């Protein structure tokens, strides 16, 4: 007996009907959606649900049939309905959002947080499509970037990275958008009038609202307790957003006062500059808004566009100085406190003959804030290596310490470039070491320590600069494997007149000694300080008592100790 087999429908079977092919395409699209989500919802532009599929009961506590005809923004918990309404409005205008957390009220099942994404399809009568997936407890639904735990928004650093990526994409033909900073005057006072849960709820709602208003649903940041920033489409109703924030802050306030909202916006499309310079200027501006003290409304009262334009010009000048190595290096001796003989020099930036109108500290800080510090650090290393090689033709060189920013030591690209530079100049081995500065905080200590280990494995010594000045100093000492610690000059000055500060200095010196780390003290300007530091157990010192920074310093110095260092090898001679 012959059994007829019905052909499978699908594109591989050319005899399948048009209806079969349509069903196959629909199934494939549903499979595509469910690979990234638990449920799919289709709505009219006004938010009325016309179709749903997937784990509807688990996500929404409702069946597909009962959802049809409902307004989609009626599904969230009460506190998130306004947020979803704002998201629907954005999608209806053609914007896309992704991975925005929304709390859903499920009948008889309790609330659940879902990650919601949405997009409008113009070819389908402008219907809007939303995917939802349950959020795993304890996991951030958004991808990438450092985040504030309360709001879920990016931090200043994470936002800077996102803005840089966006500007570069825009330069390649993407949408440029607009950057807006928001200041919430009275936010700290409002926090004091709320209990912990109420404050957390307020911050979460604020975070969701700003995400919803931002490009892609995740281009917003918390820059401080009372300040925020986000990238968005130029046609966003900023006044309406201010009104929403004002309303729910007032509703949350037991006194009904709330906050006063100040906004300052700048269009990226109006910046007719090199895209990389614009990105760096925006990152710098973000950092300035984040770190600026005082009343946030005063901070945002300035013309942000003009400030960014000025910053772009300054970046161009700084790049020119770095690329042309248009700076000098002064050398200051670090000596043994036992015999006052030079142990090594520190290389210090100087701009006496440079067109830049900034002191070295300002220059370095600006370079760190604009992402130019790794270029500067490499340029300084090249110039110091050149001086060492030149001096070595006259005799044995006293080693030189070069400053490296905390930003640079945490950069894989910088470390690779530095290692290549050192490999190209084997004659400087034993004549150069590195000081890790604390002007910029090191966030990834494991990554930084791996870089330090690699340098030390190649025979280069590493010093932790300005120890004690930053809040993370002892964390650095615990996590970073260094050869030297340079005690911040403030401790040296204060310890001479304060028993408490002297106790701190003695304790720091003893701790380092127990760890096998040599100590260096700054700002030694008189004999009294010298004797005091020797009593405290400090091994090396730096200051005007011994040597002032000198651009024309002789790096050979005809010092017997230096010759001994070269003969003995690095580890024995640096203890």
- pLDDT at position 98 is 76
Rounded CA separation 463/480 (Å): 10
Rounded CA separation 174/160 (Å): 18
Same domain, 552 and 467: yes
- Give the residues of the chain that fall short of pLDDT 50: 1-15, 136-144, 558-575
DSSP string, 256-276: S---EEEEEEEEGGG--S-HH
Domain containing residue 287: CATH number: 3.30.70
* CB 511 within 8 Å of CB 474: no
Q: Pick the closest to residue 296 from 203, 227, 365 (CA basis).
A: 227
Q: Could you tell me if residue 219 is inside a domain?
A: yes
Q: How many domains would you assign to the chain?
A: 3
Same domain, 367 and 452: yes
Q: Could you tell me if residue 98 is inside a domain?
A: yes
Domain containing residue 471: CATH number: 3.20.20.450
Q: Is the pTM of this model over 0.85?
A: no
Q: Where among 291, 316, 341 does a domain terminate? A: 316
* CB 533 within 8 Å of CB 541: yes
- pLDDT at position 145 is 54
Same domain, 285 and 340: no
Estimate to the nearest angstrom the gap between the alpha carbon of 528 and the chain centroid.
Answer: 44
Same domain, 173 and 312: yes
Same domain, 304 and 384: no
Q: Could you tell me if residue 106 is inside a domain?
A: yes
Q: Pick the closest to residue 405 from 454, 429, 369, 458 (CA basis).
A: 369
Between strands 462-467 and 178-185, the pairing is unpaired
Read off the pLDDT of residues 386-401 as tens digits, 9 standing for 90 and up. 999 999 998 899 999 9
Between strands 97-106 and 328-336, the pairing is unpaired
294: tokens are 């005082």
Q: Pick the closest to residue 538 from 508, 568, 570, 572 (CA basis).
A: 508
Same domain, 286 and 343: no
Which of the 8 DSSP states describes residue 544? T
Q: Could you tell me if residue 510 is inside a domain?
A: no
Q: In what order do the strands lie in the sheet with 220-224?
A: 220-224, 227-232, 178-185, 260-267
Same domain, 398 and 455: yes
Alpha-helix residue ranges (DSSP H) falling in 186-300: 187-193, 196-213, 238-252, 275-291, 296-299
Same domain, 343 and 303: no
Q: Could you tell me if residue 148 is inside a domain?
A: no
Estimate to the nearest angstrom the gap between the alpha carbon of 498 and the chain centroid.
Answer: 38
Coil, strand or helix at 292 = coil
Q: Could you tell me if residue 517 is inside a domain?
A: no
Same domain, 79 and 204: no
Q: Where among 257, 282, 316 does a domain terminate? A: 316
- pLDDT at position 110 is 79
Rounded CA separation 513/19 (Å): 81
CB atoms inside a 10 Å sphere around CB 209: 23
Read off the pLDDT of residues 233-287 as tens digits, 9 standing for 90 and up. 888 889 999 999 999 899 999 999 999 999 999 887 666 666 788 888 888 889 8
- pLDDT at position 239 is 92
Same domain, 293 and 366: no
Domain containing residue 115: CATH number: 3.30.450.20
Same domain, 260 and 232: yes
Which of the 8 DSSP states describes residue 181? E
Q: Which residues of 466-483 are buried (b: 16+ CB within 10 A; e: fewer)?
A: bbbebeebeebbeebebb
- pLDDT at position 562 is 38
Domain holding 65, by residue range, is: 36-134
Q: Could you tell me if residue 113 is inside a domain?
A: yes
Rounded CA separation 413/395 (Å): 34
Same domain, 239 and 345: no
Q: Where among 104, 134, 164 does a domain terminate? A: 134
Q: Could you tell me if residue 502 is inside a domain?
A: no
């Amino acid at each position: 007996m012959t059994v007829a087999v019905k052909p499978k429908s699908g594109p591989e079977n050319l005899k399948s009907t048009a209806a079969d092919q349509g069903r196959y395409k629909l199934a494939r699209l549903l499979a595509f959606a469910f690979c990234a989500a638990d449920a799919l919802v289709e709505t009219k532009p006004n938010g009325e649900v016309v179709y749903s599929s997937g784990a509807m009961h688990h996500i929404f506590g409702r069946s597909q049939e009962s959802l049809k005809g409902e307004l989609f923004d009626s599904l969230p918990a009460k506190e998130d309905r306004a947020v979803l309404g704002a998201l629907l409005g954005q999608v209806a205008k053609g914007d896309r959002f992704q991975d925005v957390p929304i709390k859903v009220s499920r009948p008889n099942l309790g609330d659940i947080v879902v990650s919601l994404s949405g997009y409008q399809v113009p070819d389908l009568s402008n219907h809007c499509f939303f995917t939802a997936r349950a959020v795993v407890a304890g996991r951030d639904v958004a991808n990438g970037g450092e985040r504030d735990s309360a709001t879920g928004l990016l931090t200043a650093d994470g936002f800077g990275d996102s803005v840089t990526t966006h500007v570069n994409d825009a330069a390649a033909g993407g949408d440029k958008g607009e950057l807006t900073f928001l200041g919430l005057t009275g936010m700290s006072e409002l926090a004091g009038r709320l209990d912990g849960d109420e404050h957390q709820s307020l911050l979460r709602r604020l975070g969701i609202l700003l995400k919803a208003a931002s490009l892609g649903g995740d281009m917003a940041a918390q820059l401080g307790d009372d300040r925020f920033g986000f990238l968005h489409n130029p046609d966003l109703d900023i006044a309406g957003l201010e009104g929403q924030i004002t309303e729910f802050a007032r509703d949350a306030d037991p006194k009904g006062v709330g906050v006063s909202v100040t906004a300052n916006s700048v269009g990226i499309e109006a910046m007719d500059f090199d895209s990389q310079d614009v990105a760096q200027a925006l990152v710098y501006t973000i950092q300035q808004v984040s770190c600026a003290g005082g009343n946030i409304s005063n901070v945002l009262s300035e013309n942000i566009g003009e400030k960014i334009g000025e910053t772009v010009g300054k970046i161009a000048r700084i790049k020119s100085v770095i690329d042309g190595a248009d700076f000098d290096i002064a050398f200051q001796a670090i000596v043994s406190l036992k015999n006052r003989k030079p142990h090594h020099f520190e290389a210090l930036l100087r701009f006496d003959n440079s067109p830049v109108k900034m002191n070295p500290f300002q220059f370095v800080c600006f370079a760190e804030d604009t992402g130019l510090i790794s270029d500067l650090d490499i340029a300084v290393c090249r110039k110091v290596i050149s001086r060492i090689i030149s001096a070595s033709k006259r005799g044995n060189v006293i080693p030189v310490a070069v400053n490296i920013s905390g930003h640079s030591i945490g950069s894989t690209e910088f470390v690779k470039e530095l290692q290549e530079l050192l490999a190209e100049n084997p004659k400087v081995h034993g004549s150069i070491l590195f000081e890790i500065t604390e002007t910029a905080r090191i966030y990834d200590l494991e990554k930084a320590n791996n870089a330090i280990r690699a340098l030390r494995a190649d025979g280069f010594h590493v010093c932790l600069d300005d120890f004690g000045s930053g809040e993370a100093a002892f964390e650095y000492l615990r996590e970073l494997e260094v050869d030297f610690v340079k005690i911040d000059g403030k401790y040296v000055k204060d310890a001479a007149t304060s028993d408490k500060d002297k106790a701190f200095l003695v304790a720091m010196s003893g701790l380092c000694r127990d760890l096998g780390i040599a100590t260096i003290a700054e700002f030694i300007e008189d004999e009294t300080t010298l004797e005091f530091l020797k009593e405290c157990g400090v091994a090396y010192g730096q200051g005007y008592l011994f040597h002032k920074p000198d651009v024309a310093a002789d790096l050979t110095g005809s010092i017997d100790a230096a010759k001994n260092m070269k003969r003995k090898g690095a580890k024995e001679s640096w203890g």
